[in-house]
Amino acid sequence: MAEIPILRIGDCLLVSIQVDMHDRLALALQDDLTQRIVADRARGVMIDISALEIVDSFIGRMLNNIAAMSKVLDAVTVVVGMRPAVAITLVELGLGLTGVRTALNVDKGLALIRRIIDNPERDDADRER
Amino acid sequence: MDFCLLQVAIAAETDIVQVRSRTRRLAELVGFDLQDQTRITTAVSEMARNAYEYARGGRISFRLTGEAPRRTFEIVVRDRGPGISDLDGVLSGTRKSATGMGIGLIGARRLMDDFEIVSKPGAGTTVRMRKALPANAAPTTPAAVKDIIAKLAADGPADAVAEISRQNQQILLQLEELHERQEDLERLNQELQDTNRGVVALYAELDERADHLRRADELKSKFLSHMSHEFRTPLNSIMALSRLLLSRSDGELTAEQETQVGFIRKAAQNLTELVDDLLDLAKVEAGKTTVVASQFSVASLFGALRGMLRPLLIGDNVVLVFDDSQNMPLLDTDEGKLSQILRNFISNAIKFTEKGEVRVWATTDSVADTVSLHVRDTGIGIAAGDIDIIFQEFGQVAHRLQGRVKGTGLGLPLAKKLAELLGGTIIVDSVLGEGSTFTVTIPRICRVGEPQEIYDDWSIDAERLPVLVVEDDPADSLAIQRLLAGSIYQPLVARSVRDARRFMQSVRPDAILLDIVLVGEESWRLLLELRSQDAGNDIPVIVTSSTGEVRKAVHLGADDYLAKPVDRDRLIDALDRATGRHSTTRVLLIDDEEVTHYLVRQLLPRSQYRVWIARDGRHALDHLSENRPDVILLDLAMPGMDGFSFLSRLREDTSFAGLPVIVLTSSVLHPEERSSLSSTSMVISKSELASDTLVNAIGSVLGAEAGIGAR
């Protein structure tokens, strides 16, 4: 089975989805990621979906799940590189990625993660606002 | 205008990915912008997943329909699944599927211009989605459509690679599965091996138990036979003393005393019977009973039984009938034991028959060569369930004659044991209240017991030469004993090399027949040992084997080698050579008449004479030097070389100078013929041919010829 590589940058994990994922691959990624978070004691997870041409309800839900699980494991998830067409379609589809933080690209994503790790209270405050 | 662009099947989860990429490519080719491509692809992805998730697959078709200003791209997703039960609920968003996927339908409807869904429970679901083509899209002409299809097809190779990789993955999966199965098998195999070991261990235990039981049974039999003897002595005293009292030789008895002594006597008598039966049974069980076979007729057996059993008949209520048995073949078995079995049957029959007859008859089965003796009564019969009991020692069945009829409960078990000893069986056929038939079936000729009688008998016969037969196979040693029966060699069997050594400490055999196969290295060692000792190195050893190790045998010092199976002539010859004896007289018969061949062979005992035959003088001369006889029996009138010419040729050869010749003739000889026979030892007329004349003649000529021959 092909699998999606998970790279480690400092205390962050970087997942770059370069192929159109089928559902089982998506579920496998979910499992791998949670295990790696624990194994590497990662504090942040960045998912690069710049190569994805579509994000349908299943993949959207998978992203949501990953964000929720990492939060439980004390890690922050940021999705970066979403295409505009994908973003529009997601909204039209009625699927807000409510639990997922997003950033425009990898640089900004890393910065966001760093900031949240350093000031967890502010992050929560951001949310509540 | 209506063009079908593509039809795709969804059968596996990975097909959804294919459908997605196909949809995006198609949307691009028909002229949608990037945003619409994403919308359409997302919507199709949702529907394809629904079809796979809920209906295990379906079909998707893509078409272009409508005329110039209002052209649409239409996608139809069809499945044959169970259908959607609460379609309105799902579409209105009030109902979400258990898997949380309800969003798919609603979302797809939002993403497309037109969305129809038809779903009937049990009849599948059809979703029809449309999106208007942009105004600037290329015109839909057959040529354009063809172009689109061609471009799609050009993507094919990528799909083919994907397909191959998919299949590869499936193969990998199957390999993994196979591997697992193999592991399963190995585990199973291991388990079986463990089980097997367990079973073997159990068997060993069972063997041990069986051995214990056998020993216990043997002990019991020994005890019984011993005790029975001990019981008999005091019983005999009681009987003798009570008889003495009743004879009043010690004075008069009162009537009361007489009755009491009578009871004592009766009780002692009953006890004696019981002890006798017990003793018989114990003897059979301990294997002490030997079968003494003799020839007798059924009629004489019946006659003896009639006389013996008539006294048992009391009153006229029961008649004892023996059927005519004149036509029965002669029996060759143990008459005493057969009579004991029948006595048991008949006395039982009389005991349990209040009125009617007891009939005894015999039948024969010529094919199996068996004889069956039947005893039928019209008595109380035995219930089917009780038949096993009556053959158990002391087994007695409750019946209404109990009070009147007494028995030890040993008669039938003894009869059964005796029948088995004779190689036969007992069958009971009985109907409760109507009577019983007891049948004993035995081989007409009893061969049981012979092997035991000659087995391991180390008593030396002074008249014969002891030959030690080292042979572990009972069948082979028995065969050798049979072959040597009647010869001057007495076979003494040692079943192991150990026995053989023990034997040689007490007896020095004239020769040793050593079997190689079974004892293996051990027997070779024995041979080496014999050859290295001073005491045994001149005892001739003949190796018998079926493995053909002639050279090894000779190398290790064996005097001769016999391949198994051994026949009598070769065996005796080998023993003669080894011991330097002449145990048999070797007779060459030169005659053309088959009647004479037959006669001479019959008249000369096989154990002492070896006869071989030549049909004329020429034939005889050809083989004379390689096989030198002790004596020649010569006929005179033969086709080919006749007796006279044979004689003159024989006398020319000095190496046969002392060879005695006895002339057998059927004609009266002329005086000149007689004179030409002067070199012969004796002339016998064929009309006088009889066993003793021939044996005496050979004996006298051999005695005259410087005592050749051993006897």
B9-23, B69-83, B536-550, B651-665: least confident range: B536-550
pLDDT classification of B163: cutoffs 50, 70, 90: low
CB distance A95–B107 less than 8 Å?
yes
Closest chain A residue to the Cα of B50, Cα to Cα? A58
Query: How far does A100 lie from chain B, in Å, by closest CA?
Result: 18
Question: What is the count of structural domains for chain B?
Answer: 4
B75: pLDDT strictly greater than 90? yes
B 16-35 residues with CB below 8 A of A? 16-17, 20-21, 24, 34-35
pLDDT surpassing 50 at residue B93: yes
Residue A105 lies in a domain: yes
Is the domain of B134 the same as that of B80?
A: yes
Strand pairing category for B124-132 and B114-120: antiparallel
Do the domain assignments include residue B282?
A: no
B563 pLDDT higher than 90: no
**B321: β partners:** B359
Which residue is closest to B36 within chain A, CA to CA? A85
Tell me the average pLDDT across A47-60: 88
Q: Which residues of chain B does A52 touch, with a Cβ-Cβ cutoff of 8 Å?
A: none
Residue B642 has pLDDT above 60, yes or no: yes
Is the CB of B24 less than 8 angstroms away from the CB of A86?
A: no
- pLDDT band at residue B166 using 50, 70 and 90 as cut-offs: low
Tell me the two tokens of residue B284: 């059979």
Strand partners, B74: B63, B130
Asked if residue A1 belongs to a domain, the reply is no
Mean pLDDT of chain B: 80
Q: Which residues pair with B375 in a beta bridge?
A: B360, B438
Instruction: Please check whether residues B512 and B397 belong to one and the same domain.
Output: no
The whole-angstrom separation of Cα B115 and Cα B563 is 100
CB contact, 8 Å: A95 with chain B?
Answer: yes
Dihedrals phi, psi of B316, to nearest 5 degrees: -105, 10
Q: Which of A53, A61, A88 sits opposite B41 (nearest CB)?
A: A53
Percentage, residues of chain B above pLDDT 70: 89
Helix (H, G, I), strand (E, B) or coil at B149: helix
B323 — pLDDT class (breaks 50, 70, 90): confident
Position B449 scores a pLDDT of: 46
pLDDT at B153: 77
Q: What 3-state DSSP class applies to A102?
A: strand
B472, B594: one domain: no
Q: Burial, B610: exposed, middle or buried (Cβ in 10 Å; 0-12, 13-18, 19+)?
A: buried
Q: Is the pLDDT of residue B690 over 70?
A: yes
Query: What DSSP state is assigned to residue B654?
Result: G
- The band of A129, judged by pLDDT with boundaries at 50, 70 and 90, is very low
Q: How far is CA B136 from CA B27, B146, B151, in A?
A: 14, 19, 20
Say if B169 is an interface residue toward chain A (CB within 8 Å). Answer: yes
pLDDT at A15: 92
Residue B230 lies in a domain: no
CA gap B186, B193 in Å, rounded: 10
Query: Which of B561, B578, B595 represents a domain boundary (last residue)?
Result: B578
- B600, B572: one domain: no
Q: Which of residues 139-168 of B touch A (CB under 8 A)?
A: 165
Claim: this prediction has a pTM higher than 0.80:
no
Residue of A18, A49, A54 to mutate, testing the B interface (most B Cβ within 10 Å of its Cβ): A54
Same domain, B302 and B423: yes
Q: Does one domain contain both B545 and B622?
A: no
pLDDT digits (tens, 9 = 90+) for B575-603: 887 777 766 788 888 888 777 887 887 77
In this prediction, what percent of chain A has a pLDDT beyond 90?
33
CB of A35 less than 8 A from some CB of B: no
Look at B49 and A61 and tell me if their CB atoms are within 8 Å: no
Of B6-20, B320-334, B391-405, B570-584, which range is least confident?
Answer: B391-405
Cβ of B13 and A23 within 8 Å?
Answer: yes
Residue B213 lies in a domain: no
Per the structure, the complete domain to which residue A32 belongs is given by 6-128
Flag whether pLDDT at B334 surpasses 50: yes
C-alpha distance from residue A80 to each of A61, A77, B550 (Å) = 16, 10, 94
Report the relative pairing of strands B631-635 and B560-563 from DSSP bridges.
unpaired
Please tell me the predicted confidence (pLDDT) of residue A46.
93
Q: Which two tokens stand for residue B640?
A: 């080919």
Domain boundary among B158, B189, B206: B158
CATH number at B631 reads 3.40.50.2300
pLDDT at B518 over 60: no
* Domain housing B56: 3-158
DSSP SS3 for B189: helix
* A2 contact residues in B (CB cutoff 8 A): 165
* pLDDT level of residue A13 (50, 70, 90 thresholds): very high
Q: Do B104 and A57 touch (CB under 8 A)?
A: yes
Residue B404 lies in a domain: yes
CB B405 within 8 A of CB B352: yes
C-alpha–C-alpha distance, residues B616 and B592, integer Å: 6
Residues sharing a CB contact under 8 Å with residue B415, sequence separation 6 or more, in sequence order: B340, B341, B344, B345, B426, B440
Cross-chain residue pair A54–B24, CB shorter than 8 Å:
yes
Indicate whether B561 and B607 sit together in one domain.
no
Bond prior to B69 in cis (omega within 30° of 0):
no
All residues of chain B having their beta carbon less than 8 Å from the beta carbon of residue A92 are 39, 107, 110-111
Token couple for B187: 């585990």
Residue B452 pLDDT greater than 50, yes or no: no
User: Has residue B607 been placed in a domain?
Assistant: yes
B119 in contact with A, Cβ within 8 Å = no
- Whether residues B674 and B551 share a domain: the answer is no
Residue pair B306/B320 in contact by the 8 Å Cβ criterion: yes
Do B12 and B136 fall into the same domain?
Answer: yes
Per-residue pLDDT band for B472 (boundaries 50, 70, 90) equals: confident
User: What mean pLDDT is predicted for residues B60-73?
Assistant: 86
For the ranges B280-284, B357-361, B414-418, the one whose mean pLDDT is highest: B357-361
| Average of per-residue pLDDT across B218-242 | 77
pLDDT of B509 above 90 = no
Total domain count, chain A: 1
What mean pLDDT do residues B452-474 have? 68
**In terms of domains, do B9 and B152 share one?**
yes
Establish if A50 touches chain B: CB-CB under 8 angstroms: no
Out of B13, B38, B103, whose CB is closest to A94? B103
In this predicted structure, which of A26-35, A59-68, B333-342, B551-560 has the lowest mean pLDDT?
B551-560
* Interface contact flag, A95 B41, Cβ < 8 Å: no
Q: Do A54 and B45 touch (CB under 8 A)?
A: yes
Q: Is A88 close to B46, i.e. CB distance below 8 A?
A: no
Task: Tell me whether residue A45 is in a domain.
Answer: yes
Cβ(B644)–Cβ(B636) below 8 Å:
yes
Q: Sorting pLDDT into bands at 50, 70 and 90, what band is B457?
A: low
CB-nearest partner of B107 from A20, A57, A84 = A57
Instruction: Measure the CA–CA gap between B472 and B509, rounded to whole angstroms.
Output: 18
pLDDT band at A48 (very low <50, low <70, confident <90, very high): very high
More confident position, B501 or A60: A60
* pLDDT at residue B286, as a whole number: 65
Probe site for chain A from B33, B38, B41, B101 (most A CB atoms < 10 A): B38
Report CA B638 to chain centroid distance, whole Å.
55
- Nearest-Cα distance to chain B for A119, in Å, is 34
Lowest mean pLDDT among B132-141, B423-432, B453-462, B511-520: B453-462
User: What secondary structure does DSSP assign to B65-95, as a single string?
Assistant: ES-GGG-EEEEEEEE-SS--TTHHHHHHTS-
Cβ of residue A96 closer than 8 Å to a chain B Cβ: no
Sign, CA dihedral B686-B688-B694-B699, equals negative
Residue B105 has pLDDT above 90, yes or no: no
* CA–CA dist B242, B253 (Å, integer): 12
Mean pLDDT over B445-459 rounds to 53
Tell me how far apart the alpha carbons of residues B2 and B5 are, in angstroms, rounded to a whole number: 10
Choice between B525 and B412, residue whose per-residue pLDDT is larger: B412
Residue A6 has pLDDT above 60, yes or no: yes
- Which residue out of A23, A55, A89, A98 would a mutagenesis test of the B interface target, given it has the greatest number of B Cβ atoms within 10 Å? A89
pLDDT above 90 as % of chain B: 6
Highest mean pLDDT out of A63-72, B281-290, B643-652, B666-675: A63-72
B46 to A56: CB separation less than 8 angstroms, yes or no: yes
Return the CATH number at A74. Answer: 3.30.750.24
Residue B450 is predicted with a pLDDT of 43
Query: Sheet holding B72-79: strands in order across?
Result: B2-10, B58-65, B72-79, B124-132, B114-120
Which residues are B442's β-sheet partners? B371
Q: Is A58's Cβ below 8 Å from some Cβ in B?
A: yes
A68 Cβ under 8 Å from any chain B Cβ: no
Residues of A in contact with B37 (CB under 8 A): 53, 85
Q: Looking at chain B, which residue has its C-alpha nearest residue A56?
A: B42
Among B26, B28, B40, B42, the strongest candidate for a mutation testing the A interface, having the largest count of A CBs within 10 A, is B42
Same domain? For B615 and B550 the reply is no
B424 in any annotated domain: yes
Q: Are residues B109 and B63 in the same domain?
A: yes
